[in-house]
Amino acid sequence: MNRETQRRIDRIIDLLDQKKAEDIQAFDLSDREYLTRYVVIATTLGDKHTLALLGYLKEKLKPAGETFVAVEEGEQWTIVDLGDVMIHLMVPSYRAKYNLEEFLESLEKRESES
């Protein structure tokens, strides 16, 4: 991960932490077969907190130059697509049920291109 990308990921994590998101994890999938290069997952305190976090991310990241390619809003699980970074905001029951961490860690690595 280059320095600029690390700075972006750190900023996202910091913003989520400022607004009390819990168990924030980041995954570097740049060497894996997946639809994005990086994923950030955070647990929210509930439905309203999920939507408040989304609003806060938009408020802080758009002026910083981030482009919101797509947003799939839900009270229990919201997905923010920034192109090469995808953010999942999930209530505890959804996070436990879908266990994205296990799925992401199980992805096969790309074969090195020679």
CATH number of 3-106: 3.30.460.10
E strand residue ranges, the chain = 22-28, 38-43, 70-72, 77-81, 85-90
Beta bridge partners of 32: 109
> What is the pLDDT tens value at each position of the chain, 114 positions in all?
789 999 999 999 999 999 999 999 999 999 988 899 999 999 999 999 999 999 999 999 999 999 999 999 988 999 999 999 999 999 999 999 999 999 998 887 766 544
**Structural domain spans, the chain:** 3-106
